[in-house]
Amino acid sequence: MSGAEAGSKQSASSTGFGHSPRRLAAELGLLLLAIVLLIFGARSCAGCAATAIVAAIPPDADAAIGKSAGEAMRAQHGLSGAPTEEQKARVDRIFEELRSGLTDEEKAILVAPRVTVVKDDQVNAFALPGGEVFVLTGLLDRAKDDDDQVRGVLAHEIGHAVKRHGVRSLVRNAVFGLTIAFVVGDLNDVTATVIAGASQLDTLSYSRSMEEEADAFGVDLLGRRKYSPEGLARFLESLESAPVPELLSTHPDSDARAKAIRERMQSGK
């Protein structure tokens, strides 16, 4: 090989793609842009597919999922002690008041309605598919003797079950993950990390929309039974603000939710 040829190859090597930071940065930028576009496309696909799939799943499936999870949770929480009879009677009474306001179609979705009070200092309540609702005693302590607050929270949780949010979330997350895996295939560690983070943010955003939908249902259900949703708004305002931006929270801002509830009360919708 002549000296000129060697010099030419050395020059090409020093300026080639493998050694050009600018080319590497551009290539990485294009890759990340493609990933973002893929994620938004998969998100839309997952949402539409989940809606169609859940519509084809009978409510009995919700009840089976809820029953299995409910029994596990009762066993777990049972180790921390039992609530008082007064606490259980109070929640049972309010739960039955709200159930009587459901339409026949809504009752058909709640195949296995049941409310369970568990001894736990956390201020929380949650609904499982099929109508399993759990109320933690910490929430009752926070509400004190204000039944309207407890009633508002239960109406909200019943909304989660009636709207089938648990099953919708399970199906949507599964479709989202399968879509990403099918289209992208094998991923290196960096790309996998980016997609994992984006997938988590997508899940959080969907959770916020479900919380807002459950709020709207709760307001409507309370109105049917001639109760004011003001109790739900007051309860939301009593919650301590989460130390993270709303974008990264699984729930919308509590003050914003309380404001939306009062606006819905005033508009009669």
Q: Which residue has the tokens 């499936």?
A: 61
Tell me the CA distances in angstroms from 255 to 12, 232, 233, one per residue in order: 62, 11, 8
Q: Are 235 and 228 in contact (CB under 8 A)?
A: no
Query: What distance in Å separates the CA atoms of residue 269 and residue 263, rounded to the nearest whole number?
Result: 9
Q: Which residues of 183-193 are buried (b: 16+ CB within 10 A; e: fewer)?
A: ebeeeeeeeee
CB atoms within 10 A of CB 6: 10
Q: Which residue has the tokens 């910490």?
A: 138
The alpha-carbon radius of gyration of the chain (Å, integer) is: 25
Q: Please, which residues bridge with residue 136 across strands? A: 118
Phi and psi at residue 177, in whole multiples of 5°? Answer: -65, -40
> For helices 189-224 and 254-267, what crossing angle results, to 10°?
40
The verdict on whether 157 is a catalytic residue reads yes
Which of 106, 132, 157, 211 does the annotation list as catalytic? 157
Annotated catalytic residues are 157
